Structure 1
Amino acid sequence: MNKIFFIVIVLSFTLLNINSDAFAVEHDSNIIIETPYVRASIPGTTITSAYMSIENKNNAAIILTGASGLFSDRIEIHQHTMSDGMMKMRQVEQLIIEGDNKVILQPMGYHLMIFNVKKALLPEEEVSLTLHFKQQKDLVVTIAVRSIKQKNPDKKQHHHH
C-alpha cells in the first residue's frame, strides 16, 4: 500500500511539473516570454490576436520578424497608433527589442494579428506559436487561449527561454 501511495505522489508531482512547465522552451538564448495569450475566436470570424511580453536579456538587440502556427496560415506583427485623433492599425515588418530591454505586445499597441484561423480557438485551449527572429533561432511558445472578457491573464507565470 505504501509503495502505491508513493508512486501516486511521485506521478502527481511529475504531472504538476509538466503542467507548470508547459510554456518552457528549450532555447540557448536569453529571451524571456511572459504572460503569452491569444484571444478566443469571436463566432463568425477567422481573425484574432496574440499578446505577450518579450524580454531580451542579451546585450545586443534582437529583431522579431514574424510568427507562425499550424492554426493559421497568416500571422503578422501589427501596431496601433494615434493619427489625427484616429486610432489606426498598421502592419510592421519587424519589431526590434533592444539589449537588456522588454517589449510588451498588448491591446492598443504592438500585437500579433492572426488571420485565417482554421478552427475556432476556445478559452482554456492552448496553441503552439513559433516566433521568428533575425539572426536568432526560432522560439516555440505554447500559449493559452483566453476569453476576450478576461483582460488580465495570470501575471505570476514567468516563462524563461
Structure 2
Amino acid sequence: AALFWPAAEVMNYTLFLIGLFIIAAGLGCLETAANPFVTVLGPESGGHFRLNLAQTFNSFGAIIAVVFGQSLILSNVPHQPQDVLDKMTPEQLGAWKHSLVLSVQTPYMIIVAIVLLVALLIVCTRFPSLQSDDHSDSAQSTFLASLTRLMRIRHWRWAVLA
C-alpha cells in the first residue's frame, strides 16, 4: 500500500498494480504461514475446527475489505458525468484526473500505518515455538534442505506455479 503514494504522485498505473500485487502476495503468504500455526495452537482433536473457523473469517474479511475500501478509500473521489468531462480542456481533464488519483493517497497511508502497527504488535508478541515430529532436526536446520524436500513434492510445485 505504501507504493500507492508515489504511484499517485507520478500518476503511474503500473506502480498501483505492483502495489496491489505485493499486497495480494503478502496476504497469501500470511494465510499460508498462519494455517499450520492455527492447527497446533490447541488440542489436536480440534485443529480442523480452528482451521475452518480461521478460513471462514478470512473469507468474511475479504468481503468486508471490498465494502471498507469502497466506503473509505473511494468516498472522496469526485465523479463527473461524461458530458462534463467532454467539455473540459486537456489541462482541466489532466488536473481532474490528478485530483482523483491524489484522493486515494490518505486512505492508503492510513492503511500503511495500521499495517505497521499490527506488524509491531506481532514482533512484540511472544508466540509458542512449534516443533514438528515428522522430520529430523538436521533436515530442518537449513533453508536449502527444506526447499529441496519441498521441491520433491510434485503437487507442491504445481501449487506454487498456480
Q: TM-score, normalised by structure 2?
A: 0.23
Q: TM-score, normalised by structure 1?
A: 0.23
Query: Radius of gyration: which is bigger?
Result: 2
Q: Pick the structure with more strand per residue.
A: 1
Bigger RCO of structures 1 and 2 (CA < 8 A, at least 6 apart): 1
